[in-house]
Amino acid sequence: MSLTFHPKPGMVLICDYSTGFKPPEMVKRRPVVVISPRPRRKTQLCIVVPLSSTPPVPVEGCHHRLDPLSLPGPLSATPTWAKCDMLATVSLDRLDRVKLGRDVKGKRLYSTQMVSDDDFKAIQQSVLHALGFQHLGISAVDKDITVN
């Protein structure tokens, strides 16, 4: 199911990369962190960084290991890496919230958890590194984009 709202920067979601992408691109469902700000005009797109439990080899400046407390539900159980060299602009139709299970009445429970401010800033810095802009530093990134 696709999102019916525009996600906030720092929100952890699930992205379905199974259509329209080819290896070595992401090609399956995986968690992502939204990094784009809320658009000023109506758009059905956002920029995301994929998350992976597979450690990068070698670990580089474009990778960031997240604090497990930044991740919702089952995602917090394993070490997770933001692979900021694989960011993508995706349709909201590819995105869904992280499923947490069901309540006592059988209703599906979802997470709308955000990564911590520290993790979000580290992801922004890693994206700059992936794009070859690491010399700009985080102070050059739009400071209006904060995780609430």
Q: What is the pLDDT of residues 66-106, one digit of tens each?
A: 999 999 988 999 999 999 999 999 999 999 999 988 999 99
Give the burial class of 67: count Cβ atoms within 10 A of its Cβ; 0-12 exposed, 13-18 middle, 19 or more buried: middle
Return the SS3 of 72. coil
- Spatial contact of 145 and 137, defined as CB atoms under 8 Å apart: no
pLDDT of 68: 93
φ, ψ at 127 (rounded to 5°) = -65, -45
Looking at the predicted structure, is the pLDDT value of residue 138 above 80? no
First-to-last CA distance in the chain? Answer: 25
Token representation of residue 53: 């439990």
- What is the reported pLDDT for 147? 46
User: pLDDT band at 139, cuts 50/70/90?
Assistant: low
pTM: 0.86
Q: Is 12-140 a CATH 3.40.190.10 domain? A: no
Confidence of residue 116 (pLDDT cuts 50, 70, 90): very high
Report which secondary-structure segment, H or E, holds 124.
helix 117-130
The DSSP code for 47 is E
Measured in whole angstroms, the distance separating CA 134 from the mean position of its chain's CA atoms is 20
